[in-house]
Structure 1
């Protein structure tokens, strides 16, 4: 007797390909965790006064699009996913000399008291698909002025999708508003590419690459604007990269997105752009003062819109 699942595969062979890709990715992750466990470096341990994080920014794409004149090198992150990045860099640490301004959806998971101040922006721009760069810049400038003797981490959500450039706005790929309108059953952009969902025939790798590059441009422009407002030693980097049809290893199947535990250059090699401006900060560690609480439903909506759920 033909099972319901087999009927689906017969009706749409792309679903079977998607299942194979999913299984191969899981196998690759297991192999990476077993044989590449001592992998990458921690951004928090490096020398900087200000750290600007561009979410999901690949090193190769940054090199291709960057116009900021500064010392650029490749940095190998110890994570391929935002929460994995936070776990490795922040969780269990006393970072009372640091202020964290973040548009990332996993920020509320960080334990209260980890930073001197944690400012989550998830409740901003709720009529938009994402937290906009301008919102992050404004909050970061305010934080830099208020906490002049603290290390400052500024976490933009771009170039991670939703794609907000002209190409990205031209096709459906799920964001906060799309989630609110249609619910979580709609696929995100990586699911569309991996599973070849019917009804999204216009969404292919070339289109997504174009939209991603536009988001990288937007993120770099935002970083450049913020750099003009910061003093000391500032580093522009990323938490992780992303797969857009790149072949994984050791099982050489095409991958999409950036699942936790992957140890591949496309998802772990990120930019490390060093900009020095004026005198270094005199950093002082002090007891925590601020932790921005965000309502659970807002966090859930944001994670759905960013494709994490």
Structure 2
């Protein structure tokens, strides 16, 4: 089977992105396929899993957050990462079912421990970066989240969720979440001079490390950063960094060349990429065919559009 045919033999959430990013389909064809995400397959299933009170699995970040008998990775099934997954699927924000789901969150959902409205954000930059991405995607006000993010940027240009406990060196995990949020916010609203400056400083933090190496020694920061994963949640990896740069720097980025070649080398003889690292924890449902160690449609789609961007420059 041709790689494009293999990717198209899947869920609407993947198909419409293949049509847009790899097959150069006509915009009206892409729009028709995208419209199916909210009514068929994984997107429809995820919308169905939302309760009438707006929550997924009874919580925002960690259902049963005060119950030590439940593992922290129940976070994957709660509201925060369920919304992130809906955006990853590319569900149409204007779809009536999606607008209802977002309204339920806006009107009812409060952070587990602070009681503030969900779209007002939290304190940790890795969380706020995802919230800002979702504000931009679903058309919710995000100015207060932007201000919290700007106030938590570290002197090296990045962010760290442990900064409130004394951390002074940034984390790639937190930084990539914030960069995605700031870029999405700029695309949606134009951003501000301060938000653009913060984003560019964060990009320099990433690029100074060639996306996965220590600036001081050149060593790989963490072997897991070189492994492909999906869904990404709050975790960083090279493919996620390259996906960000593809959107942030459409003109190309020479300093990403080593990371691009690392990704290229992972392509199998069949033209596909494997899912190398699954972030363990309960999920609301399985996405068919996505298993660690096996070819992955999600990873292959994302890798192919990265290489298309890189090879064009």
Please confirm whether the aligned pair reaches a TM-score higher than 0.5, indicating the same fold: no
Larger-Rg structure: 1
Structure with greater proportional strand content? 1
Q: Which has the higher contact order (CA 8 A, sep 6+)?
A: 1
Structure with greater proportional helix content? 2
Calculate the TM-score normalised by the size of structure 1.
0.34
Calculate the TM-score normalised by the size of structure 2.
0.34
